[in-house]
Amino acid sequence: MKYLHKKYAVVAILIILLALTFFMAYINGIFTPLIERIFNETPQARIYDFVHAISTDNEKKASNLWIIPEWWNSDFKEFDDLKARKERVINELVNKKISPDFTIENIELWRTCCMPGIINDYKEAGGARIKVKLISENKTELYYTFDIFTRETTYFGDAAGYPVRNWVIRDIYADGDSPIFWTQSAN
Amino acid sequence: MNLKRIGISAILLVAIVAIASVPAGASYNRYNAEKYAEKYAINPNPAFRYFDQDCTNFVSQALLAGGWAEIGKYYYYSDDAWYYDGGSRPWYGNSWVVADSLYRFLERHPDRASKLSVGHPYSTRFQAGDIIQIDFDRDGRWDHSMIVTGVRLGDADDLLMSYHTSNTLDKSLISIQQANPNANFVGWSIK
């Protein structure tokens, strides 16, 4: 009987230690990359969803994926420009009957807190500027840049324990056009 | 009456009063804060953990060097907590390391800082050791924290800012504002 009590005590301690280890790992963001992958929270997944929506003529879904910043209103001079661009680009891509296949040409990661800047470390990124090659129905190559950011834009990375990111498309523009949402210069 | 109970109650009462009376700190030593910021703006102090997004951690260290007392240890998410419990794997309050949390902490503690708008004339409104924060995308969340490490007087009327990420010493505030024309700025006169 005494032996059984000891055995249960050891098991209980082990479970507590394991739980503590998982808790520490969680608050330090060790599981964040895994959780983001499981829940498809990556900039590339957003592009995939968008391109597939367009290629199946699902304008509504494409429009839902491209989210005008929630805090923008008519006080922001760029608000109307971004809304107009969104309508125009979605329309354009649907009319060109783009293929669901796309190629990522370049990824530029952005630090979105402290002074914004271009970085190499995906773990710390709050934004991704991704150049994508799309193919139209008549096999023309089309180049668009997707500006995809965490919903709150500001991402403090390791200082905040690597919280799980929710990536959102904020802007899409053709080669030669300028961004409207993220106009920061790299500091 | 049970003397033991009275004794314990008295001790508890003294403890509660002592904890509740945590002072903001001795009056702020701007010189010390400024010197700390100048010393560690480019090369961070190895006595503190260095984060990849280190701006607010750096500013908090300078405030500590200027004499601010820590408060609310181990209440990580509280806007009333500001602390750093050292070591290689430190415990620290959210407001120590996250710009928006520091903003809320300063708002809730007018005994420690007064909010100021950021504009001319800088030199009569700000001093070395004061803090300026930036909201780049105007979403109401503050993204960056900097400390004043110099004041240009007269016609030059400018402030010199030091900050981390990326690590910078004595950069003109006017140049920062010009580089970020769509950003919102807020200042804090530290007491």
In this prediction, residue A27 carries a pLDDT of: 64
In this prediction, residue B23 carries a pLDDT of: 46
Question: Which CB contacts under 8 angstroms, 24+ apart, belong to A175-180?
Answer: A175/A143, A175/A144, A175/A145, A179/A129, A179/A145, A179/A147, A180/A78, A180/A81, A180/A82, A180/A85
Low-confidence ranges of chain A (pLDDT < 70): 1-4, 26-28, 186-187
CB contact under 8 A, B51 and A116: no
| 0.90 surpassed by pTM | no
Q: Which of B178, B177, B173, B143 is nearest to B161 (CA)?
A: B173
What Å distances lie between residue B100 and B55, B56, B85, CA to CA?
Answer: 11, 9, 20
For B50, which residue in chain A has the nearest alpha carbon?
A: A159
Q: DSSP assignment of B104-132, as one string?
A: HHHHH-TTTEEEEE--S-HHHH--TT-EE
What Å distances lie between residue B144 and A34, A170, B54, CA to CA?
Answer: 28, 21, 9
CB contact under 8 A, B53 and A124: yes
Contact B171/A at CB under 8 A: no
What's the rounded Cα separation, in Å, for the pair A41 and A57? 23
What's the rounded Cα separation, in Å, for the pair B69 and B34? 17
Shortest distance, CA B175 to any CA of chain A (angstroms): 12
Helix axes B99-108, B55-65, angle to 10 degrees: 40
In this prediction, residue B22 carries a pLDDT of: 45
Contact B2/A at CB under 8 A: no
In this prediction, residue B18 carries a pLDDT of: 44
Of A76, A121, A184, the CB nearest to B136: A184
Please check whether residue B170 is in contact with residue B161, taking contact to mean a CB–CB distance below 8 angstroms: yes
What's the rounded Cα separation, in Å, for the pair B99 and B133? 8
What's the rounded Cα separation, in Å, for the pair B51 and B57? 8
CB contact under 8 A, B164 and A121: no
CB contact under 8 A, B137 and A152: no
Shortest distance, CA A115 to any CA of chain B (angstroms): 6
Please check whether residue A85 is in contact with residue A180, taking contact to mean a CB–CB distance below 8 angstroms: yes
CB contact under 8 A, B165 and A115: yes
The pLDDT tens digits along chain B (191 residues) read 566 776 666 666 555 544 444 444 458 999 999 999 999 999 999 999 999 899 999 999 999 999 999 987 766 667 778 998 875 567 788 899 999 999 999 999 999 999 999 988 998 899 999 999 999 989 999 999 999 999 998 888 999 999 999 899 999 999 999 999 889 999 999 99
Beta bridge partners of residue B160, listed in sequence order = B150, B172
Contact A158/B at CB under 8 A: yes
Look up the ipTM and state it: 0.80
Shortest distance, CA B162 to any CA of chain A (angstroms): 12
Token reading at A50: 């968008």
